[in-house]
Structure 1
Amino acid sequence: MEEAVTGKQIAYAALYDPPVMQQPTAITSTTIVINQQPQTIIRGWHSGICEDMKSCCCAFFLGHCYYACLASRMGEDCCVGFGCVPGGHVAMRVALRHKHGIPGTICDDACMVSCCLPCSMCQLAREMDQLGYPPKDGCC
């Protein structure tokens, strides 16, 4: 049954109900996900091969004991630096380079270690000092 609309109801609606100015629209939402990967800062070594006497003297005169201390400072077993692990010295340089965004290749590190192990370990020690690696007791 339909009810008849009276004139009184139309007059009331005109006075109190505001007119519709726009059509209703559907509400939509969009979710945007931004996934940012951590950025590694690319930079070079802080020093060259042989730039200070302290690390060079330690490397030349204390040799593998000094390298074992460097490995220990890096959180590695001292056997890696002492030479008990084949390729350990190369691995130390590669690990430090990779961790701190220093450009280079494994081949570069292998050539450096093969040509002058003490000099490459001096550079590694100075870099660790620059980066704030804590010294170990009994090491240079």
Structure 2
Amino acid sequence: MTTTMVITQPQPVMYSRDSDQWGSGICDFCDNLPECCFGYWCHWCFACMKTKEYGECLCLPLLDMCGIVPPITLSMRVSMRNRYGIKGNICDDCLMATCCRLCVWCQMSREMRERANQVTLVGARVV
């Protein structure tokens, strides 16, 4: 008689109370008027700061200066949708990034602030 022992590790489960929609509309400037004014008057500084806050290279938005469709704004919006589980499609992202670049950066900034999760360690020991 052989005994088989099966050991399974518990898998982490993350429950999200956040919606699968953007937390604010593309034109909700009044949600944070000082931030949107900063984004309007000093767009490149604002975009670089938000990119760094998101965890990407600080100077990445400067690549948006070339071309009609801003590739970094577009890729940041798509990445944010994927990270936060926001429904949408690449066509809408491309249209928004091309026609409303400043509004898109302000919306992404509001979204990062709303969805910032604090990490709580339960049962952790300090050594």
Measured against the shorter chain, the TM-score band is 0.5 to 0.7
1:17-45, CA deviations, whole angstroms, 9 ceiling, x for partnerless residues?
xxxxxxxxxxxxxx9xxxx9x78866101
Greater Rg over alpha carbons, structure = 1
RMSD: 3.0
* Unmatched 5+ stretches in structure 2: 1-5, 119-127
Which residue number in structure 2 is paired with residue 46 of structure 1?
Answer: 23
1:1-140 aligned at under 5 Å gives the runs 43-51=20-28, 52=30, 53-83=33-63, 87-132=71-116
SS of 2:114's partner is: helix
SS of 1:83's partner is: helix
Q: Percent identity?
A: 33
CA contact (8 A) 1:44 1:103 kept: yes
TM-score by length of 1: 0.62
Residue identity in the other structure for 1:112: M
What is the deviation of 1:111?
A: 0.5
Alignment length, in residue pairs?
108
